[in-house]
Amino acid sequence: MQTASSYKVLVVDDDQDIVELLQYNLTKEGYDVSVADNGKKAIEVAQAVKPDVILMDVMMPILDGIAACRQLREMSEFKHTHIIFLTARSEEFSEVAAFEAGADDFITKPIKPRALLSRLAAFARRESQQEEQDAVIEIGNLRIDRTSFAVYKGDQKITLPKKEFELLAFLAATPNKVFTREELLNNVWGNDVYVIARTVDVHIRKVREKIGEENIKTIKGVGYKFNTD
């Protein structure tokens, strides 16, 4: 498991006061911090430093956070990078747009440094727990390799962003067991991360688009299961 001293964090915001606040608190905790003030610059810095976590504002000049996130997720080296949005906008549609773009988490300003540090620690804990699980899950013609974050359907390799992969792996680890949205949120995103139930639906839809409709079944009024029937 990575520690704070081995984590690289990129802070992206056009508000210099926020950048300085986060840079100070993260550096004090041992994180290696880089900064950028717009989405275009964020992509350039990310390509140079390869951060483990990107904390990114939504409303920025030149290139906004949503567009920057989409571009980063299209690059193979950032498929599994944690991207957390920082925004003053608390409307639900903003959260949905963030997760549609590939975000892992969503934090509303004003930002509390202690709460943010707790979020980062939660990501590290979940990564440690996942390392202790079975490395490979094989069901039918589907193979899920946790060590390489790769999914194979027959001979076809399917690449999923980190949260989509974690959701699929969690469901497949206990086939035919039905999980509510709340259970999936707690187990895949964690209790320390605030996300809405709609987030699960967005990610399920994306996973189905890539591996097929038949593997994940909706249980109306309850939740989802990995289907082997």
93 pLDDT more than 60: no
64-90 pLDDT, tens per residue? 999 999 999 989 889 878 898 888 765
> Strand, helix or coil at 100?
helix
Higher pLDDT, 203 or 99: 203
Could you identify the residue written with the tokens 């727990």? Answer: 129
Of 113, 130, 147, the residue at which a domain comes to its end is: 130
Q: What is the pLDDT of residues 188-224, one digit of tens each?
A: 887 655 566 778 888 999 999 999 888 899 998 889 9
Same domain, 99 and 25: yes
CATH number of domain containing 19: 3.40.50.2300
Same domain, 191 and 154: yes
Q: Which two tokens stand for residue 143?
A: 């193979």
Q: pTM above 0.85?
A: no
Strand pairing report for 53-57 and 82-87: parallel
pLDDT band at 48 (very low <50, low <70, confident <90, very high): very high
- Residue 209: what pLDDT? 92
> By mean pLDDT, which of 13-22, 88-97, 161-170 is the weakest?
88-97
Q: In this structure, what are the phi and psi dihedrals at residue 51, rounded to the nearest 5 degrees?
A: -70, 155
Percent of the chain with pLDDT over 90: 42
Cα(25)–Cα(45) distance, rounded to whole angstroms?
20
Q: Could you give the number of structural domains in the chain? A: 2
Check whether residue 77 and residue 91 sit in a common domain. Answer: yes
Location of structure tokens 């967005």: 202
Task: State the pLDDT confidence band at 44, using cuts at 50, 70 and 90.
Answer: very high
Q: For residues 188 and 167, what is the distance between their CA atoms, to the nearest angstrom?
A: 6
Rounded Cα gap, residues 22 and 20, in angstroms: 6
Residue 1 has pLDDT above 50, yes or no: no
Residue 45 has pLDDT above 50, yes or no: yes
Q: Could you tell me if 34 and 12 lie in one domain?
A: yes
The domain in which residue 59 lies consists of 4-130
> What pLDDT is recorded for position 12?
97
Nearest alpha carbon to residue 109 among 202, 8, 17: 17
pLDDT digits (tens, 9 = 90+) for 126-148: 665 555 455 788 888 899 988 77
Both 116 and 179 in a single domain?
no
196 and 221, same domain (yes or no): yes
SS3 (DSSP) at 15: coil
12 - beta bridge partners? 36, 56
pLDDT score at 124:
65
- Residue 143: which CATH number? 1.10.10.10
Residue that finishes a domain, picked among 103, 130, 157: 130
**Are 99 and 142 contained in the same domain?**
no
For residues 19-26, give the mean pLDDT.
94
Identify whether residues 99 and 161 lie together within a single domain: no
9/109 same-domain check: yes
Number of helices followed by number of strands (H, E) in the chain: 8, 12
What local confidence, expressed as pLDDT, does residue 226 receive? 93
Q: What is the mean pLDDT of the chain?
A: 85
Instruction: Tell me the pLDDT band of 101, cut-offs 50, 70 and 90.
Output: confident
In this predicted structure, what is the pLDDT of residue 128?
57
Last residue of a domain, one of 78, 107, 130: 130
Q: Same structural domain for residues 19 and 34?
A: yes
Distance from C-alpha of 191 to C-alpha of 153, rounded to nearest angstrom: 31
